[in-house]
Amino acid sequence: MKCKIGIRPVIDGRCGGIRESLEEQTMNMAKSAKALIESNCFYSDGTPVECVISNTTIGGSAEACKCEEQFATENVVATLTVTPCWCYGTEVIDINPNTIKAVWGFNGTERPGAVFLACAVAASAQRGLPIFSIYGKDVQDLGDTVIPEDVKQKILSFAKCAIAVGQMKNKTYVGLGAVSMGIAGSFLDGNLMQQYFGIRSEWVDMVEIDRRINLGIYDEKEYEKALSWIKANCKEGIDINDYNKPRIVMTKDKLWEYIAKMTVIVNDIMFGNPKLKEMGFPEEANGRNAIAGGFQGQRQWIDRLPNGDFMEAIMNTSFDWRGKKEPFILATENDTLNGMSMLINKLITNRASIFADVRTYWSPDAVKRVTGWTPDGLAKNGFIHMINSGAAALDGIGACKDENGNACMKEWWKITKEDIKATMDNVTWSQANLDYFRGGGFSSNFKTIAEMPVTAVRINMIDGLGPVLQIAEGYTAVIPDEVDTILQNRTDKTWPSTWFVPNLTGEGAFKDVYSVMANWGANHAALAYGHVGADLITIASMLRIPVNMHNVSEDRLFRPHTWTAFGTKDLESADYRACKTYGPLYK
């Protein structure tokens, strides 16, 4: 059963005229909120988010208990309490410690909905139940059924983030392999996953992939379909290797065959495949109920076998040989922390997320010295090179077009055949650098061809503190082709490349582009489409993960009301104290 949002219409329980006069207005608020959420929020599979309204208005504890019993059968993960009037605070609030909570109090003068909201906030704070407070800026007339824009924004932010939290719960993160090249983020921490995200952890040795290939434990027809699509659509790019050196690597045809099998098999490991049961492999058919995963690759696997670049790139992309499909998060180098950053990006935006190294800061002076070009436009203050070994989601090319012809990264269900063709026309698959990848493989080679709004994200683990989140809103920059070539060739000309320009505030970590790079907490980042920093801060507060670096203006922040009790002047410090006080969501 999909996770849902429960809507609780609470009311002044005094019968004999008061309650009766408010029944219709109160229930209409609930219906309006339900319609708003269901028409604007979506699960990751593209279907509308489902809301459940309490069977009755709630005027006291008896009805509150009946509502809780109803919601318990509906997999409600978050509740939105709505009211236009005064209600009896502790008798009607949601006291379930396992739901994420918000209250919308109608801003009117005839009935004190705002007074109840304040009462509910105070009661919830005393009982250790953080709630999001929603209250319109402008007074409305008693009969006004229109939801103001500022209220809509908060309801939708709450709903979108709460459903993202709910979709993670009781799913599995599958780590294929172990720690890659000493990267600490590759360590799959079961306690982190369980306590902060409600996610199971499962460790699968990479040899399982090779076992299934050798024993034929995969859908042959699916493999043939994938391989046929690869041959028809994946143009091979440059090969920079020196074959005078001793090499032990498959032929290119054999590499593609093995890679296609890898990709099909990892899909089966994550999600299961009923076809395998028909073939006599019921255990393998089950899959692992995965929502995300990672692939170690380096070094033990890639020293002998093809790298995971194609597999990772195509699984993270919004299409493959089956056509458009939901992107599945598969983190390069098994970087679990970046994988979870990508997952949150995906669930917030319903779009693919780009895995990248935070590779190089290019100052304007350095660019001019190396290329002769003086950066201008978005790039005038310098830029950060986001690049990795060919495993980035192809959506990051920026070849998709919206209804106005603008480059974008789309929700996966809006991807068209024209988008797929345009994307594949802008990527080649270069033979992997055999000095790095001794078993061979193919790396996606593209550059981001359009200026797009993006948000860089990273979860980091700090000893004694726990997880923290970094956020940097900005844009992808497009630089002249000849400059791009010179800079790209200094790193690896077979890899995908995105030039990232963070929005600057002139202060702290966002004083300049160099400071953003200098304050980034790890060697990897996940890029989300759009400026979604505000939603990321909201979901971080739900998960009790403090945000240690962001460039989101204060007027866009939306956290539980009780965060104000931890300080209103230094909001970053207040966030840390609140998260520490309440602890992980699933403690």
| Type of residue numbered 434 | L
Same-domain status, 361 and 451? yes
Q: How far is CA 480 from the centre of its chain?
A: 31
Predicted pLDDT of residue 519: 98
Mean pLDDT of 515-519: 98
Residue 182 has pLDDT above 90, yes or no: no
Residue 511: predicted pLDDT: 98
Whole-number pLDDT of residue 545: 98
Q: Are 533 and 471 in contact (CB under 8 A)?
A: yes
Q: Of 385-399, 417-431, 461-475, 505-519, which range is least confident?
A: 385-399
Question: Would you say residue 236 has pLDDT above 80?
Answer: yes
Instruction: Output the pLDDT for position 578.
Output: 98
If asked whether residues 259 and 283 sit together in one domain, one would say yes
Considering 115, 149, 168, which residue would you say is the last residue of a domain?
A: 168
Q: What is the pLDDT of residues 51-87, one digit of tens each?
A: 999 999 999 999 999 999 999 999 999 999 999 999 9
At residue 265, the pLDDT reads 98
Between residues 413 and 247, the one the model is more confident about: 413
Q: How many folded domains does the chain comprise?
A: 2
- The rounded mean pLDDT for the chain is 95
pLDDT score at 186:
87
Q: Note whether residue 347 is domain-resident.
A: no
Residue 535 dihedral angles phi and psi, to the nearest 5° = -65, -35
Residues 6 or more apart whose Cβ sits within 8 Å of residue 566: 573, 574, 575, 577, 578, 581
Residue 167 pLDDT grade (very low, low, confident, very high; cuts 50, 70, 90): very high
pLDDT, residue 248, reads 75
CATH of the domain at 57: 3.40.50.1070
Per the model's pLDDT, the better-predicted residue between 520 and 388 turns out to be: 520
Provide mean pLDDT across the span 535-553: 98
| Cα(102)–Cα(33) distance, integer angstroms | 12
> Same domain for 193 and 268?
yes
Same domain, 177 and 41: no
The pLDDT score that the predictor gives to residue 246 is 81
Average pLDDT over every residue of 133-145: 86
Q: Which listed residue (94, 219, 284, 333) is catalytic?
A: 333
Could you give the percent of the chain with pLDDT greater than 70?
100
Shared domain check, 42 and 146? yes
Q: Taking residues 222-235, what's their average pLDDT?
A: 98
Residue with tokens 């590499």: 255
Categorize the per-residue pLDDT at 491 as very low, low, confident or very high, splitting at 50, 70 and 90.
confident
Structure tokens at 491: 């790193």
Q: Is pLDDT at 133 greater than 90 in this prediction?
A: yes
Q: pLDDT band at 220, cuts 50/70/90?
A: very high
Are 379 and 234 in a shared domain?
Answer: yes
pLDDT digits (tens, 9 = 90+) for 294-323: 999 888 899 999 999 999 999 999 999 999
Residue 587 lies in a domain: no
422 & 558 share domain:
yes
How far apart CA 252 and CA 274 sit, in angstroms, is 31
Could you tell me the pLDDT band of residue 548, with boundaries at 50, 70 and 90?
A: very high
- 114 pLDDT exceeds 80? yes
Residue 338 lies in a domain: yes
State whether 232 and 220 are in the same domain: yes
Q: 491 or 265: whose pLDDT is higher? A: 265
Q: Clarify whether residues 387 and 508 are in a common domain.
A: yes
Quick one: pLDDT at residue 226? 98
Give residue 478's identity as a one-letter amino acid code.
Answer: V
Where residue 120 falls among pLDDT bands split at 50, 70, 90?
very high
> In sequence order, what are the residues at sequence separation of 6 or more whose Cβ sits closer than 8 angstroms to the Cβ of residue 300?
177, 206
Q: Is the pLDDT of residue 106 over 90?
A: no
Where is average pLDDT lowest: 101-105, 352-356, 436-440? Answer: 436-440
Catalytic residue at 333? yes
Does residue 280 sit within a domain?
yes
Residue 110 has pLDDT above 80, yes or no: no
> According to the model, what pLDDT value does residue 476 have?
98
Strands 524-529 and 453-462: antiparallel
For residue 299, cis peptide bond before it (omega within 30 degrees of 0)? yes
Task: Give yes or no: residues 236 and 301 share one domain.
Answer: yes
Q: Which of 50, 309, 357, 492 is catalytic?
A: 357
Q: Please tell me the predicted confidence (pLDDT) of residue 129.
A: 97
Percent of the chain clearing pLDDT 90 (strictly above): 90
Q: How confident is the model at residue 470 (pLDDT cuts 50, 70, 90)?
A: very high
Looking at the domain assignment, is residue 348 inside a domain? no
Kindly state the average pLDDT of the residues 196-205. 97
- Output the domain CATH number for residue 408: 3.20.14.10
29 within a domain of the structure (yes/no): yes
Which residues have CB under 8 Å from 432's CB, separation 6+? 306, 307, 309, 389, 390, 440, 441, 442, 443, 494
75-79, 287-291, 437-441 — which is least confidently predicted?
437-441
Do 196 and 116 lie in one domain? The reply is no
For residue 69, the enclosing domain spans 4-168
Of the residues 129, 146, 168, the one at which a domain ends: 168
Residue type, position 333, single letter? E
Mean pLDDT of 196-207: 97
- Give the pLDDT of residue 447: 95
Q: Is residue 303 located within the same domain as residue 383?
A: yes
Domain end: 168, 199, 234, which one? 168
Both tokens of 145, joined, read 């059924």
Does 224 qualify as catalytic in the annotation? no
